[in-house]
Structure formats: C-alpha cells, structure tokens
Structure 1
Amino acid sequence: MLLLVAACAPQPPVAREQASAGCNAEAVQQFVGQPADATAAEALRVSGAKSLRRYATGDVLTMDYRADRLDVESAANGRIVKLTCG
C-alpha cells in the first residue's frame, strides 16, 4: 500500500537544462548574425537536436516544448537573432 501512495506523490519538475540533453544551444551561438537560409541546417547538426523550427521575430508559435528541437529565430533581413532549444 505504501508503494501505491508513493507513486501518487507529486514529482519535482524536470529542469529545462536536464530536459534539453538532446539539444545544445550553447554550441551554436556562433551562428547568431549569420543568414538563416545558409546556416540553419549546420546549426541543427552542431546542436545535436533532432528537429529544427525556423521562424521570424514576431511569428505566432505553438507553446509545445520539445527538448530535442532547435529553434532558430531570424529577423526581417533573414539573419539569425536567437538560437534556443525547446
């Protein structure tokens, strides 16, 4: 019975650093300022992420979190302004 009660106890939330083990955004910060069209695929490879989401600043995005996804935000001029995992 004690085992069943323990299984129902709330679990601590997983920290984003732990959850993003499949994506390393720090490794791709050198791509900030580069053209997104030319470097997004290379950034994906270097980050170790399994998928890529490209979007422009101000675009509407879903709020889903995927630890194995690299998010590439680009400005109106097509240059990368931000790289994050999630």
Structure 2
Amino acid sequence: MRTAVLPLLSLLAACAGASGQGPATPPPTAEGSCRNEGLDRFIGQTASAAIGADMLRASGARTLRWSAPGMAMTMDFRPDRLTVSYDGKMVITTARCG
C-alpha cells in the first residue's frame, strides 16, 4: 500500500509547483474589451450561431461562451469574453462580459 501512495504524492507535489504560487508573469490581456452596452436587445431571442455572431459584433468580444441550463462554468474573468446564458427552450436569458 505504501508503494502505491508515494507516486501519487509526487504527482500532487508536481501539480502544486515548486513555489506554490502562480506563473511569474501574468497572462497577456486581450486587445479590446467586451462591452455590455446594447446586449439587452438580445434577451428573449432564440440562441443560434447567427445571434451569437451578432452578439460578438455588438459587444466587441473576441470569444463567445454559451451557458446551458445547469452547466458548470469557470469563474475566471476574461475582458475579451462574452458569456450568454439560455434556458431549456434555447431563449437567451442573460448576456454579460467576462
């Protein structure tokens, strides 16, 4: 049993990193930030690829993330990302940057 635990502990230590801190340099920031202004007009519309493209253009975001009902999502903030939530009938309920 002891021999099976040691390799697992070394893997966990490797994942934690030598200093226990994040990277030495922050990740690059995307050019141009997403803007929330004007996104309310999409609330109530049916989610589709065409609507998503329109929302990207309207917000200035570089990335679109769809959020389905009950879907787990990361909470990291990205200034270049638009997150759009929809309900079980594919109706857009929220649209926000980050």
> What TM-score, normalized to structure 1?
0.71
- The equivalent residue for 2:35 is 24
Q: CA deviation at 1:56?
A: 1.1
Work out the number of aligned pairs and report it.
Answer: 66
The equivalent position to 1:46 in structure 2, one of 54, 58, 61, is 58
Larger radius of gyration: 2
The equivalent position to 1:62 in structure 2, one of 74, 80, 84, is 74
Residue 34 of structure 1 aligns with an amino acid whose one-letter code is Q
- Kindly report structure 1 stretches of 4+ aligned residues shifted beyond 3 Å: none
Q: Which structure would you say has the larger RCO, counting Cα contacts within 8 Å and 6 or more residues apart?
A: 1
Gaps of 5+ in 1: 1-20
RMSD over aligned CA atoms reads: 1.3
Q: Aligned partners of 2:42, 2:93: CA distance in 1, in Å?
A: 9
The equivalent position to 1:79 in structure 2, one of 79, 82, 91, is 91
Q: CA deviation at 1:57?
A: 2.7
SS at match of 1:25: coil
Q: Aligned partners of 1:84, 1:57: CA distance in 2, in Å?
A: 16
What percentage of aligned pairs have identical amino acids? 42
